[in-house]
Structure 1
Amino acid sequence: MATAAAGKAKQKCKYGSKCYRKNKLHLDDYHHSDDGDTDTEMDEVKKEPKPAATPKPKPRLVHGVSVADGAEDDPWKTRLQKRKSEEESAALAEVMCLKKRKTEEGFVVTKAGPSRAPSFKKAKKKVKKFKAKKEKCKYWSKCYRKEKAHLAEFRHPGEKENEDEDGDEKMEEPRKKRGQELEALNELDEDDRVEFSTGYMLERDGDIYSCSCNEWKNQTENEKQRTCKHLKEYLGEEFDKARVTKAKKKAYVAQHISVSVLLAHKYDEKANDPVGWWISEKLDGVRAFWNGRCFYSRLGNAFYAPAWFTKDLPQNMTLDGELFGGRGLFQSTVSIVKTAECDNYKKIKYHVFDTPSLEAKPFEERIQAIKDYFEEKKPKYAVFVEHTKCTSKKQLDDQLKYVLDRGGEGLMIRKPKSKYERTRSTTLLKIKKFYDAEAIVIGHEKGKGKNQFVCGALRCKMACGMEFSVGSGLTDKDRRNPPKKGSIITYKFQELSKSGKPRFPTYLGIRIDMTEPKDAEIREVIDDDS
C-alpha cells in the first residue's frame, strides 16, 4: 500500500504556491506548482539542498522610511554634516569681524609702547570648540530613534534646556565644571591698556584690574577686589564676579606659629665700644614678625591687620619690625593691634628694620634689600627704619638725648656685617635710660605659681598719691622677707603711663636715709611739630 500511495498521482492544490500548509500528508497528496509540474519534479526540487541564505542587513526604523544600517546615502547624517559646515563658516566669519565690532562698541586694545592688533586667541578657541545647535525633534517624547546621528541633530526630553517667555525651548548656557576657570569676554593681558571712547582707561598689573574712573578709585576695598561698570562691560559680568569673589576669599591664617627672632642684650658703656656700629631709634611699639601673610608676636600669636594695611607688604620675604603709633602712645598701639581688622590701624604703621629671609647675609645687604623693595612698591602703611653709622661715643650720647627729650624709649645699636641670629645675641644691643624714684610700701600682694606661698609684689604709693605694684627685681630672699609696710624703697622705671603710673617698675632696694617718698623729675618732651 505504501508503494501504491507513493505511485499515486498528486492532485493540484487549489491554493498553488500561495498555500501555507506544510504538514507531510498534505504535501504527499497535493502538488503546489502553478505551471503544472508533476509530483516527481516537485520531489526532486525538494530533495535539492537549499542554498545558504545571505543575511540581510537589519532594517533601521526611521520616521516613515526604513533604511538599513551602513547605507551610504543616510539622509540624516548628510543633513547634520551640512548644517555643521554652514554654522562653522558663520562662526569663522564672526571671528574675522572681531576688530571691527570692538571699535564700534567704543573701545580699542593697545599695547604699552607700540600699538598692536587685538588678540584673536579666544575667537579661535570659539571656532575650535564650535558645536551646532540642536533643533527640537518634531516627534519629541514619542520619538523611538536611538541612533547617534539623530540624537546629535535633534533635541529630546531630558536634555538640559529651559523655555523662554513665549514657550519656545532654548538651550542653557554651558555650566562651568568644578576646577574649570571662566574665560573673560575680552582678554586683558598684562601691560595691556583698554581705552574707552569716554576717555576711561583699563589696565592690568598681575591680578589687579584697574580703571581710571572715580567708581573704581573711591572704593575702600583691596585693589584686587575693586570693580566698576567698565570692567564688567569689558571682561563680562560672570568673569568679573568670579574674579572679585576669588580675591575676597581669605586664605587660611594660623592663629599661632613658632617664631624665632633676633633679641638684644643690654648695652654696657664700659664693655662695649659703639664706634662703627649702626644706630637706630628703639621704638616703643609692638614687635611684629611678618611671614608673608600675617603679623605674629614674639610668642607666635597672630595679629589680624586689615587687608588694605598689608596689601603692599611682600609675600615672598619675611620682615621684622614694630607696629608703632608714635612716641608715648604704647597703650593705644597695643589696643589697636589686639583688635582684629579695625579701622584704627590707619593710626599706626609697620616700621621695618630687618628681614629674617636673608639671615645668612650681612646686615648691610639685608637692609639694602628692604630699601630696594620700599623704593619700588612704596607701601602706604609701612616705613623703613633708617640706620646711622656711629662715629664716636659723643655722637651716641647726643642722639640718645635727642630721642629721650622727644619722648622716645632709647636707641638700638647693631654690629656691622652681623648675621640675623634667631636668638638673643650680643650683635644687637639696646640703650635705655630709666628714671629713679622712691615710694612707700603700703601692702604685700600674694604670689602666684612657684611664689604662691611668698610675696609676689609690693603695693606702693608715690609722693603724688598714685598707687602701683612692683614685683620685678625682688629676689627669693626679698619675697620671703619683704620690706615692711611704711618702708621707703627705691625703684626705677622707663616712663609714666597716661594714667600717671610707672611703666615697667623694678625694685632696687630699701632707702634707710629717707622717710618720705620722692617722685622722679620727668624730662620735658620736645614736640618737633610745634
Structure 2
Amino acid sequence: MNRRSLLLAAFGLAIAPAALAREPAPPLMLAETYRRDMSLADYWVSEKYDGVRAFWDGRQLWTRGGERIVAPAWFTTPLPKQPLDGELWAGRGRFAHAVSTARNQTPNDIAWHEMRYMVFDLPAQPGDFTTRLAALRRLLPITDAPWVVPVPQERATTHEALQALLDKTVKMGGEGLMLHRGASLYKGERGNDLLKVKPYEDAEARVIEHLPGKGRHSNRLGALVVETPDGKRFRLGTGLTDAERENPPAIGTWVTYRYNGLTAKGLPRFARFMRVREG
C-alpha cells in the first residue's frame, strides 16, 4: 500500500485507483489564533512546542507538507501502529536543531538522541478530543521509548489564568500555548477547534519576489515580497539574518511572519520575518 493509501486509510477514507499517483500532505488539524473575546468553555490547554510538526501513519513519520522524515529505526520501532499527531522537539529555544535533524535524509544518531516526539492527538481514534485524550493517556508513555511523550493537557479556565500561563511559559523560553476544544472531532482542516495562543500574532505567506538591498545590504536581499492566501501582498524586510539575505528563501517558498494587528487596508502591521515554513 502506498503512502496516500495509508494516510487515507488512517482516516477511514477511500479513493479511486486513478488518483493514487498524487502524494498529498497528511490531512492534519490546523490552528486558528485565539482572541480574548473567545469563550474558553470546554478547551484543554497545553504548551505550544517550537519544533517540526510530525504525523506518524503507523509505519512512517511525515512532515505537515507530506515530506518523509527519515528517523533512526530505534526512534520509530517502539511507536504504535496507529496514527499519531505531534511535534518533533529538541527543547525550548532549539528550533534550528529540530529542523536540521528532521530534514537530514541520513539520520544523525547523536542529534536524534536529543529529540522528543511530543504527541498531542490520535487522528484515527473515534470520539471527540476529550475521548481521544483519554485514549492517548492509556497508550503513552511507552516504557521502552521515553522520547515519545504525551503532551500534558489541563482544562482552560479564564482568560486571566490563560494569560498568566502564557507569560510563565514565554519567560521559560516557550513559544506559546495551544487550545484544543474538548468536543471537537479530528478534522484535517483549519478551524477554532484548535487555537494557538502567543504574545504576538503570526501567519504564513508565499514568497513571490526578491527586492535588492541598499546601503549595508547592497548586493544582497533587501526585502521579500510575499502574498497571503487571500491575495494580499506586502514586503518583509525586517527579521532577516545576514545569512538569509545572502541566501534568501526561494520564490514560491512559504514563510512564517509575525505582526501586531492589521492596518485599515487589512495588511499586517509591523510584519517581521520569522522563518521558512517547514513541511
TM-score range (shorter-chain normalised) is 0.5 to 0.7
Deviations along 1:307-348, one digit per CA (max 9) or x if unpaired, are 111122102x11000001112211221111111332111111
- 2:91 pairs with one of 305, 320, 326: 326
Q: Which has the larger radius of gyration?
A: 1
Assess if the C-alpha contact under 8 Å between 2:201 and 2:258 holds in 1: no
Q: Does 1:305 align with 2:71?
A: yes
The change in CA–CA distance for 1:478 and 1:264 in structure 2 (over 3 A counts) is closer
Q: Does 1:290 align with 2:44?
A: no
Assess if the C-alpha contact under 8 Å between 1:279 and 1:414 holds in 2: yes
Deviations along 1:220-266, one digit per CA (max 9) or x if unpaired, are xxxxxxxxxxxxxxxxxxxxxxxxxxxxxxxxxxxx56511111111
The change in CA–CA distance for 1:468 and 1:275 in structure 2 (over 3 A counts) is farther
Among the aligned pairs, what percent are the same residue?
Answer: 32
- 1:351 pairs with one of 118, 136, 141: 118
- SS of the residue aligned with 2:120? strand
Matched ranges for 1:4-403 at <5 A: 258-270=25-37, 272-315=38-81, 317-340=82-105, 341-343=107-109, 344-358=111-125, 360-375=126-141, 377-403=143-169
RMSD over equivalenced CA pairs, Å: 3.9
Assess if the C-alpha contact under 8 Å between 2:141 and 2:150 holds in 1: no
- SS of the residue aligned with 2:64? coil
Assess if the C-alpha contact under 8 Å between 1:322 and 1:352 holds in 2: yes
In the alignment, residue 285 of structure 1 is paired with which amino acid?
Answer: G
Q: Which residue is 1:471 aligned to?
A: 225
Deviations along 1:145-197, one digit per CA (max 9) or x if unpaired, are xxxxxxxxxxxxxxxxxxxxxxxxxxxxxxxxxxxxxxxxxxxxxxxxxxxxx
Distance 1:296 1:321 in 2: 11
Assess if the C-alpha contact under 8 Å between 2:36 and 2:159 holds in 1: no
Q: Flag structure 1 segments of 5+ consecutive residues without an equivalent.
A: 1-255, 437-446, 483-488, 510-517, 521-530
In the TM superposition, residue 275 of structure 1 has moved relative to its aligned partner by: 4.0
In the TM superposition, residue 471 of structure 1 has moved relative to its aligned partner by: 3.1
Q: Which residue is 2:179 aligned to?
A: 413
Distance 2:41 2:165 in 1: 13
- SS of the residue aligned with 2:117? strand
The change in CA–CA distance for 1:268 and 1:471 in structure 2 (over 3 A counts) is farther
Assess if the C-alpha contact under 8 Å between 2:42 and 2:183 holds in 1: no
Distance 1:357 1:478 in 2: 38
- SS of the residue aligned with 1:357? coil
In the TM superposition, residue 472 of structure 1 has moved relative to its aligned partner by: 4.0
Distance 2:232 2:120 in 1: 41
- SS of the residue aligned with 1:399? helix
In the alignment, residue 103 of structure 2 is paired with which amino acid?
Answer: K
The change in CA–CA distance for 1:498 and 1:405 in structure 2 (over 3 A counts) is farther
In the TM superposition, residue 476 of structure 1 has moved relative to its aligned partner by: 7.0
In the alignment, residue 297 of structure 1 is paired with which amino acid?
Answer: T
In the TM superposition, residue 470 of structure 1 has moved relative to its aligned partner by: 4.0
- SS of the residue aligned with 2:45? strand
TM-score (norm 1): 0.37
In the alignment, residue 266 of structure 1 is paired with which amino acid?
Answer: T
The change in CA–CA distance for 1:274 and 1:368 in structure 2 (over 3 A counts) is same
In the alignment, residue 417 of structure 1 is paired with which amino acid?
Answer: A
In the alignment, residue 293 of structure 1 is paired with which amino acid?
Answer: R
- SS of the residue aligned with 1:469? strand
Assess if the C-alpha contact under 8 Å between 1:287 and 1:321 holds in 2: yes
Normalized per residue, the structure richer in strand is 2
Normalized per residue, the structure richer in helix is 1
More relative contact order in 1 or in 2 (CA 8 Å, sep 6+)?
2
- SS of the residue aligned with 2:113? helix
Distance 2:54 2:227 in 1: 27
Q: Which residue is 1:5 aligned to?
A: none
In the alignment, residue 28 of structure 2 is paired with which amino acid?
Answer: V
